[in-house]
Structures are given as C-alpha cells and as structure tokens.
C-alpha cells in the first residue's frame, strides 16, 4: 500500500486535496483526521504539516508526499522532486525598505530574516555573499525590518501585495521559482503504486492544461489546419457527409484557445467547438 503525505494546513492543503480527489482518491471529511486509508486504490494518506513532509519522505516513513519546492530545498532531507504539480506557484525573493538596495551583493554584512534559512544560506553562499546573520522566523517575515530584527527579508512572493503593504520592495533576481511538487526518495526502489499515482496526477495536469477542439474544414485546407492544431500526437481527421469537408479533433493548450480559434476561422474552418477534458491518460 503506497503511503502518501498530504499537507494538512496552509496554501498547499486545499489544492492538494482537490487534485487527489480529481485523480480519483478518497479524501477526508473531517480536518482532524490524521490518517485516511483508501483500500480501493491501495493507498494510505497521512495529513502532515507541509514543512515536515519532505522530512518524513526523506526518512522513508512515508513513500511520497506533496510539498512546496521551496520547503523541499529548505528541508535538507533525502527526498527529491518527482513531479511538479502546477499549483501554489510563487517566487522566493529578497526584499527591503523601498529604494534602498538594488543588488544581492549589498546583503553582505546585513541581517536577513526568513522562514527558509537553509535556502537563503545556500543561495548567498553560491553567490559569495556573507550576511551578518540569518534570523529564522516562523511567518509574517515582512514585519522583521520595521521591528528591527533584520535589514533584509527573504520570503515567498506571489502577488507582491503583502510586501507593498509593508513598504518593502523586491531586489535582485528571484532565489527560486516554487510550486507544489510530489517528492520521493531517490535512493530506494520505486515504491509499488507510484507509477499509477504519477499517471493519475499527470492525467489531472493534462486535463487542466488542455482543451479538446473540434472543427470542420474544407478538405483542401486540412493540412494547413492541422499545422495550427498539431495536437499531442496527431489530430483525428474524420469524413463529413459533405465529402468536400472534414472534421478535425485535437487537443489544444487551454491558454491558447482563443488565439487558435481565431487562426482557424481566418483559415476557413467553421463550427469550431471547445470542450473541457474531464479526465485522461496520455
Ligand atoms: N501566497 C502564496 N502563494 C502561493 N504559494 C504560497 C503562498 N504562501 C505560501 N505559499 C507556498 O506554500 C508553501 C508553504 O506552506 P505553509 O503551509 O508552510 O505556509 P503558508 O501557506 O504560508 O501557511 P501558514 O502561513 O498559514 O502556515 C510553500 O511552498 C510556499 O511557496
Ligand atoms: O505576494 P503575496 O500574494 O502577498 O503573498 C505572499 C505572502 O503569502 C504568504 O504569507 P501568509 O499569508 O501565509 O502569512 P505568513 O507570512 O504568516 O506565512 C507568504 O509568506 C507571503 O507573506
Ligand atoms: Mg505563510
């Protein structure tokens, strides 16, 4: 039975549970449940703090887990990234009082507050920058400068509104681009059932990322239309009752839907229909 760790709180929790539900797994009804067997799918879920998940996976007490790339790198555990999951996207950035710093080199001799001290020390070490100290805080890191425990912060930034509200400004390149990831141990045999979990999660990712596009096109234009919608492998081309026309079906990236429809219409395609993919195996 594959043992899967799932975040029990924070930004990762709800989308992780939603993704597992879409992948056909049972999910808990009560947020106090810590362990949830799903015998029909031969897996068992453990609800753990997001920061602890890489630690458990690295120790081998659970087989795989969902966590953030930033939390994984900060954990120093033996767990490795197995599959990026496309949600909880953020950047990890340095920030300080607006208008005071422009370059990471200026952190030399300054105090840095963060919830990710390992990540910060690694990045500064790689760039040869020696801070006066790294102060580890649990959260609300944006207050550390105003309250006088640090000169610079390093934190998760999504929209940037928390930083703006605190009168801070990012500087330098991002330390990291993070998102939720499935992690596993790299130095042990692939656990039984991981291939099924991976295919199911990839199915959810594909269903989210792609739509199905159907359209009719004159036979003379099929090749040109297929060049616009090459699909993942090869689009389906079917005959129509009117023998001068064909029907084409192809998968198209969701974020390209309108651009592709415009292009097909200009080319001469008609009856262009877009439908969502409910589930798939590629
Ligand atoms: N605003 C955000 N947007 C996207 N991802 C975020 C955001 N805040 C945190 N994360 C991601 O969530 C993970 C951290 O989860 P964690 O539960 O420790 O913190 P949290 O979501 O800030 O929860 P809390 O602060 O309520 O404990 C990291 O991978 C981080 O990149
Ligand atoms: O760029 P934004 O869209 O503003 O999001 C980034 C903020 O979100 C998270 O904070 P959270 O609300 O989890 O509080 P915390 O600092 O106590 O973790 C993160 O730590 C940042 O502070
Ligand atoms: Mg937080």
In a domain, residue 203? The reply is: no
CA–CA–CA angle 179, 180, 186 (5° rounding)? 110
Average pLDDT, stretch 48-64?
98
**Burial class of residue 127, CB neighbours in 10 A (0-12, 13-18, 19+):** middle
Any ligand 1 atom below 6 A from CB of 205: no
Confidence of residue 90 (pLDDT cuts 50, 70, 90): very high
Beta strands per DSSP E along the chain: 2-7, 35-38, 43-48, 64-68, 79-84, 90-97, 111-114, 133-136, 152-157, 168-178, 180-185, 210-218, 236-239, 245-253, 270-276
Lining residues, ligand 2, CB within 6 Å: 139-142, 155-162
Distance (Å) of CA 18 to CA 35, 69, 118, 161, 204:
17, 19, 30, 26, 10
The residue ranking higher by pLDDT, 92 or 31, is 92
Nearest CA to ligand 2 atom 4: 162
ipTM: 0.96
Are residues 185 and 83 located together in one domain of the fold?
A: yes
Ligand 3 centre and the CA of 55: distance in Å?
Answer: 19
Find the CATH number of the domain harbouring 49: 3.40.190.10
Q: Count how many Cα atoms sit within 13 Å of the Cα of residue 182 in the half-sphere of its side chain.
A: 20
Q: How far is the CA of 188 from the centre of ligand 2 (A)?
A: 35
pLDDT in tens, 151-208: 999 999 999 999 999 999 999 999 999 999 999 999 999 999 999 999 999 999 999 9
- Minimum-distance ligand 2 atom for the alpha carbon of 155: 20
Is 101 inside any structural domain? yes
Residue nearest to atom 26 of ligand 1 (CA): 10
> What predicted TM-score, i.e. pTM, was given to this entire model?
0.94
The answer to whether residue 264 sits within a structural domain is: yes
Decide if 197 is inside a domain. Answer: no
Q: Which atom of ligand 1 is nearest to the CA of 7?
A: 17
Does residue 23 lie within any of the structural domains? yes
Residue 246 structural domain: 210-276
Tell me, yes or no, whether 172 and 114 share the same domain.
yes
95 and 171 co-located in one domain: yes
Token pair belonging to 151? 């000169």
Picking from 192, 223, 248, the residue at the C-terminal end of a domain is: 192
CA 50 to chain centre: 14
Please tell me whether residues 150 and 112 are part of one structural domain.
yes
CA distance 171 to 167: 13
Same domain, 99 and 173: yes
Do 186 and 230 share a domain, yes or no?
no
Q: Do 142 and 28 share a domain, yes or no?
A: no
90 in ligand 1 pocket by Cβ < 6 Å? yes
Question: Is 25 found in the same domain as 152?
Answer: no
Same domain assignment for residues 141 and 75:
no
Q: What is the mean pLDDT of residues 46-54?
A: 98
Please check whether residue 250 is in contact with residue 236, taking contact to mean a CB–CB distance below 8 angstroms.
yes
Q: Which two tokens stand for residue 31?
A: 């947020």
CA 29 to centroid of ligand 2, rounded, Å? 27
**233 or 111: which leads in pLDDT:** 111
Q: How many residues does the chain have?
A: 282
Ligand nearest to the CA of 90: 1
Please say whether the beta carbons of 99 and 206 come within 8 A.
no
Q: What are phi and psi of 20, to 5 degrees?
A: -65, -35
236 DSSP β-pair partners: 249
Mean pLDDT within 53-72? 98
How many Å lie between the centroid of ligand 1 and the Cα of residue 238? 48
Mean pLDDT in residue range 218-244: 97
CATH number, position 219: 3.30.70.120
pLDDT band at 40 (very low <50, low <70, confident <90, very high): very high
Q: Ligand 1: does its nearest atom lie under 6 Å from the Cβ of 174?
A: no
Residues of the chain above pLDDT 90, percent: 97
Is residue 198 in some structural domain? Answer: no
Residue 201 lies in a domain: no
Beta-carbon contacts of 242 under 8 Å, excluding residues fewer than 6 positions away, are none
pLDDT higher than threshold 90 for residue 282: no
- Distance (angstroms) between ligand 2 centre and the Cα of 122 equals 22
Please tell me the predicted confidence (pLDDT) of residue 77. 96
70 and 111 in a single domain? The answer is: no
Q: Are residues 165 and 183 in the same domain?
A: no
146 neighbors 96 (Cβ within 8 angstroms): no
Phi-psi region of 78 (alpha: psi -120 to 50; beta: other; left: phi over 0): alpha
Considering its fold, how many domains does the chain have in total? 3
> Buried b vs exposed e over 93-111: b needs ≥16 C-beta within 10 Å?
bbbbeeeebeebebbeebb
Average pLDDT of the chain, as a whole number: 97
Residue 281 lies in a domain: no
pLDDT of amino acid 33: 92
Q: Residue 31 above 90 pLDDT?
A: no
**Residue 266 and residue 140 in one domain:** no
Taking the centre of ligand 1 as the mean of its atom positions, its distance from the CA of residue 263, in whole angstroms, is 40
Looking at all shown ligands, the one closest to residue 68's CA atom is 1
Question: Helix 13-22 crosses helix 194-209 at what angle (to 10 degrees)?
Answer: 100
| pLDDT of the residue at 145 | 97
Ligand nearest to the CA of 137: 2
Say what percent of the chain tops pLDDT 70: 100
pLDDT, tens digit, for every residue of 6-15? 999 999 999 9
What is the Å distance from ligand 1's center to 54 Cα?
Answer: 15
Confirm if 40 and 225 have CB atoms less than 8 A apart: no
111 CB less than 6 Å from ligand 1? no
């Amino acid at each position: 039975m594959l043992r899967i760790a799932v975040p029990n709180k924070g930004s990762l929790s709800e989308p992780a549970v939603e993704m597992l539900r879409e992948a056909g797994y049972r999910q808990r009804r009560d947020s106090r449940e810590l362990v949830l067997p799903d015998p029909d799918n031969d897996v068992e879920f453990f609800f753990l703090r997001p920061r602890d998940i890489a630690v458990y996976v690295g120790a081998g007490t659970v087989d795989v887990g969902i966590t953030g790339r930033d939390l994984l790198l900060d954990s120093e555990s033996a767990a490795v990234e197995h599959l990026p999951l496309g949600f909880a996207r953020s950047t990890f950035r340095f920030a300080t009082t607006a208008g005071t710093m422009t370059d990471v080199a200026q952190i030399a001799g300054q105090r840095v507050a963060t919830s990710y001290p390992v990540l910060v020390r690694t990045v500064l070490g790689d760039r040869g920058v020696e801070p006066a100290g790294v102060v580890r805080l649990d959260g609300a890191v944006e207050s550390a400068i105003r309250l006088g425990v640090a000169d610079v912060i390093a934190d998760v930034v999504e929209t940037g509104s928390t930083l703006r509200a605190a009168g801070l400004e990012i500087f330098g390149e991002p330390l990291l681009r993070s998102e939720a990831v499935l992690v596993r141990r790299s130095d042990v045999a692939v656990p039984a059932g991981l291939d099924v979990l991976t295919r199911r999660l990839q199915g959810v990712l594909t269903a989210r990322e792609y739509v199905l596009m159907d359209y009719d096109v004159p036979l003379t234009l099929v090749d040109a239309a297929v060049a616009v919608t090459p699909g993942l492998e090869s689009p389906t081309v079917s005959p129509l009752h009117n023998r001068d026309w064909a029907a084409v079906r192809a998968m198209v990236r969701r974020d390209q839907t309108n651009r592709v429809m415009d292009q097909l219409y200009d080319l001469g395609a008609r009856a262009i229909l877009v439908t969502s993919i409910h589930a798939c195996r590629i």
